Amino acid sequence: MLLVVENRVFTVFLKPIGDVCYTNNNESTRVQLPKRNYFDKIKASKRPFLLMGFDLINKVFVIWNPISTKERLNTKKNLSFYCRLNAQREAKEKQIPTRCNLKNGEFVWVIPMSLLAEFLMYIEDYFSLNTPDEFETTTNSDSSIDAEHKELFSIDVDDIFDGTGKIVAIKNPAILKELKEAHTTGKPFAEYEILYKHYADKTAIMALSEWRQLLNSINWDEVQ
C-alpha cells in the first residue's frame, strides 16, 4: 500500500512478525518475504520501500532500513528479516523508538504504534539516509498518488494473516485463479501444490487441516 504522512509518501508492505520456528536463545523474531512479481514493480518505483513487521501483543512496528531492504527484494526465493523480542518489549514498556542491533552489524527500529507518524517524518535521521528528498511529495496531487497506487498494486496482495503469521483468508486474485484452475482438474492435491508454491514460508507453521480449511472457505463461483 501507499502510506501518506503529511507531505511524504511511502510504499509499505505489512506482515506480522513472529517466532523464527526454531530454538534460539536470543528470542529472535522475523518476517519472511517470498519472491513475487509485484516486488519487481516496487523495486523499480521511485518511492522508498518500508517493510513493517507488526506485533499486536506489544503494539509495535518493526521497520528495517528502506534502502537495503528494497535492494534485497526478489534476490532469493524467501528472504528473512530479523529483530528480537526483547527490543519489541522494551519499545512497548518505554514508549519510545528502540534500536535493535543485529549480529550482522545492521540494526532495525522498533516503534510504538502510536509514534509511527512522527517516526516516519524523521526516518532519514534514524537510518542516516542521505536522500530525504525522495520521501517528499509536496507537488503530487491526490489523484496522481491514487494512480501510482493502482500502477504498483494492480493485483490485490492483501491476504489476511492472524497474529501468529498463519493465513486465514486468501485474497490475491492471481493466486485464487491458479487455485480454481487446479481445483477444476479434479487431480488429488492439485490445489495444495499451488498453496505450497506461493506460501512456502508458511508450511512450517500451518497444519494440513488449516490448509484444507483455507480451501474450503473459498467460494469458487466468485473467483474470476
pLDDT in tens, 4-39: 787 788 888 888 888 766 555 668 899 988 888 778
Sign of the C-alpha dihedral, residues 4, 127, 158, 28? negative
Rounded distance, CA 115 to CA 51, Å?
Answer: 17
Rounded distance, CA 145 to CA 140, Å?
Answer: 7
* Grid cell of 180 as nine digits: 480454481
pLDDT at 81 over 90: yes
Bigger pLDDT: 88 or 77? 88
Question: Tens of pLDDT along 165-193?
Answer: 788 888 888 888 889 999 998 887 889 98
Residue-level pLDDT at 152: 47
Residue-level pLDDT at 138: 46
Rounded distance, CA 36 to CA 79, Å?
Answer: 11
Residue-level pLDDT at 158: 61
Task: Dump the DSSP string for 136-186.
Answer: B-TT--HHHHHHHHHHHTSS----EE-TTS-EEE---HHHHHHHHHHHHHT
Domain boundary assignment for the chain: 2-152, 160-222
The conformation of residue 104, written as its DSSP 8-state character, comes to T
